[in-house]
Amino acid sequence: MITEIRNATIVTVDAHDTVIEGGTVIIDHGVITEVLPAGVAPSAPTDQVVDARGGIVMPGLVNAHAHLAMTLFRGYADDRDLQGFLDRLFPVEERVLSE
């Protein structure tokens, strides 16, 4: 299925952080194939049209925040609330060597 999302404010991730007002995004079987400025027609017919007027189309937000050391303790105190988790974790964490 080819989906056309039109009339959107498109936030890109190009080198200039371009924002396209009233633009169109074409998605072909889950893959973005075209990002078009206002007034430019898709290169091929589409199966579905979504009017995103008043909406924003942007890349997915990925939570890149990580505490890598916590992988050592995965599952260690999952059955606890936050305070119980911290009370159990901190004494063990203090014994972990930097090496």
Q: Which domain holds residue 37?
A: 2-57
Q: Which one has a higher pLDDT value, 99 or 61?
A: 61
Reduced DSSP (H G I as helix, E B as strand, rest coil) percent helix, strand, coil of the chain, to 5: 20, 30, 50
Q: What is the pLDDT of residue 81?
A: 93
Which region among 28-32, 33-37, 45-49, 75-79 has the lowest average model confidence (pLDDT)?
75-79
Q: DSSP assignment, residue 53? A: T
Q: How many domains does the chain have?
A: 2
Query: Residue 10 sits in a domain of what CATH number?
Result: 2.30.40.10
Same domain, residue pair 42 and 74: no
- pTM equals 0.63
Same domain, residue pair 26 and 71: no
Classify residue 62: in a domain, yes or no: no
Q: What is the pLDDT of residue 99?
A: 62
Q: What is the pLDDT of residue 78?
A: 86
Classify residue 92: in a domain, yes or no: yes
Classify residue 39: in a domain, yes or no: yes
Same domain, residue pair 8 and 45: yes
